[in-house]
């Protein structure tokens, strides 16, 4: 069974429908980021644990691949019902182990549920294609089939939504799944497995193995894993892609980001400030679609002044407080990394107009960092180039939209970008020239819905087929072509 607050027993892995102890004696603490109170311990599982999970998934695949597609969908309908029934409890669990605000956690649960809704449409999604008469008396057909056992490696920042990007669609297509959740947010993963079993999923269809490097490498190297889906940092994403691809696996690896928001002089300034603040400081900046660089176009000092003023007014604290927007980062060492970037920004000559370090003394127990804003940042500065993954914002100045778009083009990342404007010509130019896969027009977080692909570009993605939408369907299936002659 999964654990709740103050249960300091070591979490178990979920293999073949049973909760089993890891073969490893190593564990890691799982604290509440807002208080550093110990919630539980997570095992640092071994490759032997991975082998057990893959073996269970491989055995389950023999029957699961032949289960009629509508029957698979009915299990997902029941799963959708159970997730909806437990919506509030799941959101509170996210607040405890991830630290984000309850409103954002509630929204994350909803986004995860929407992924299950999409996967529940598998009877339609899995349809093939036919064409009669491709030649005289010859017809051609295409059918979709599952790959086999699929591995998923998920991050701490969206402990519910990202796993639900993966395994519902994968199993709906007939695959079986081994999930390696983040060792920083493992509790929710176990709860997701419990509910999936309650929905009627057969033993071995979904397995959960907790751990770190050994589990990741165990999945990447295992000969019976057909595909790997990954979400995490750029360096690890590139490693996962290269290592798994070298083993002949299909790979989708979602990576880092440096998302630019361009504020044009004609923008609705109040709304632009509101969207930038929410995008930058919501979830403590720990999301790959967060705004981390604002391009201020023209002489727009009122925007900068209003942004700083509103940042000063943000309420910082525990995510269960309704008024709180800015919550803690995931771990103390993560905050130390962010502090090193703040020091680097000062050293390189950026103007620190809002120093979030001053709030740290007021909230000493948790991993808090106040809203931090640098002005007059230049593209060659470290804080302008690197993903900081914390509540740290860089303001760059541009004379016109062309300069702003050039900043985006020079970035190694291409996850998302947004423009704030009421000018149709500027919107079209931005849409056509912005070098990123997900664009927003007066939208703070232009993340896609589950029925569209989450389509990062450049170093924000490694692979060919993205998660979600038709890309996700194609990733988890392979096509079989049949050519038939009927002239006998």
SS (H, E, C) 160-207: CHHHHHHHHHHHHCCCEEEEECCCCCCHHHHHHHHHHHHCCCCCCCEE
Structure tokens at 100: 């984000």
Residues 44, 24 contacting (CB under 8 angstroms): yes
The CA-based angle 388-241-212, given to 5 degrees, is 65
What is the DSSP-derived secondary structure letter of residue 440?
A: E
- Is 288 one of the catalytic residues? yes
- Give the span between the Cα atoms of 152 and 336, in whole angstroms: 29
- Give the residue among 306, 362, 303, 369 at the shortest CA–CA distance from 340: 369
Contacts of residue 488, defined as CB under 8 A and 6 or more positions apart, other chains included, come to none
Place of tokens 């049973």: 18
Indicate if the alpha-carbon torsion angle 401, 405, 410, 416 is positive or negative: positive
Given the residues 115, 173, 288, 291, the one annotated as active site: 288
- Give the span between the Cα atoms of 109 and 219, in whole angstroms: 27
What is the DSSP-derived secondary structure letter of residue 362?
A: T
Structure tokens at 155: 């991050």
Active site residue ranges: 288
């Amino acid at each position: 069974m999964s654990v709740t607050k103050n249960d300091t027993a070591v979490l178990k892995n979920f293999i073949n429908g049973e909760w089993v102890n890891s073969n490893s004696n190593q564990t890691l603490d799982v604290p509440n980021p807002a208080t550093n109170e110990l919630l539980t311990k997570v095992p640092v599982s071994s490759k032997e644990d991975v082998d057990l999970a893959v073996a269970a998934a491989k055995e389950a695949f023999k029957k699961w691949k032949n289960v009629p597609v509508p029957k698979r969908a009915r299990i997902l309908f029941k799963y959708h019902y159970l997730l909806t029934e437990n919506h509030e409890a799941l959101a509170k669990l996210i607040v405890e182990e991830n630290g984000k605000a309850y409103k954002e956690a509630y929204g994350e649960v909803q986004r995860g549920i929407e992924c299950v809704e999409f996967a529940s449409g598998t009877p339609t999604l899995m349809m093939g294609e036919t064409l009669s008469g491709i030649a005289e008396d010859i017809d051609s057909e295409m059918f979709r089939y599952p790959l086999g056992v699929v591995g998923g490696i998920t991050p701490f920042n969206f402990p519910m939504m990202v796993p639900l990007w993966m395994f519902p669609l994968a199993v709906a297509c007939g695959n079986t799944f081994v999930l390696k959740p983040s060792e920083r947010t493992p509790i929710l993963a176990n709860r997701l497995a419990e509910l999936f079993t309650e929905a009627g999923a057969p033993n071995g269809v979904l397995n959960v193995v907790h751990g770190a490097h050994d589990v990741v490498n165990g999945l990447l190297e295992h000969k019976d894993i057909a595909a790997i889906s990954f979400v995490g940092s750029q360096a690890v994403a590139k490693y996962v892609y290269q290592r798994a691809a070298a083993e002949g696996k299909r790979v989708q690896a979602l990576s880092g980001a440096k998302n630019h928001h361009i504020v044009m002089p004609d923008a609705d300034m109040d709304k632009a400030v509101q969207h930038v603040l929410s995008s930058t400081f919501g979830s403590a900046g720990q999301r790959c679609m967060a705004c981390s660089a604002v391009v201020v176009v023209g002489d727009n000092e009122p925007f900068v002044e209003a942004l700083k003023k509103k940042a000063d007014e943000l309420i910082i604290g525990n995510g269960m407080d309704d008024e709180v927007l800015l919550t803690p980062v995931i771990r103390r060492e993560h905050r130390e990394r962010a502090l090193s970037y703040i020091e680097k920004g000062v050293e390189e000559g950026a103007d620190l107009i809002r120093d979030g370090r001053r709030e740290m003394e007021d909230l000493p127990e948790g991993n808090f960092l106040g809203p931090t804003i640098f002005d007059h940042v230049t593209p060659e500065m470290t804080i302008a180039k690197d993903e900081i993954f914390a509540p740290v914002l860089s303001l760059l100045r541009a004379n016109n939209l062309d300069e702003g778009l050039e900043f985006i083009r020079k970035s190694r990342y291409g996850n998302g970008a947004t423009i704030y404007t009421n000018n149709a010509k500027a919107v079209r130019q931005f849409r056509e020239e912005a070098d990123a896969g997900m664009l927003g027009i007066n939208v703070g977080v232009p993340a896609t819905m589950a029925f569209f692909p989450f389509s990062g570009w450049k170093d924000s993605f490694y692979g060919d087929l993205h998660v979600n939408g038709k890309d996700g369907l194609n990733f988890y299936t392979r096509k079989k072509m049949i050519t038939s002659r009927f002239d006998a």
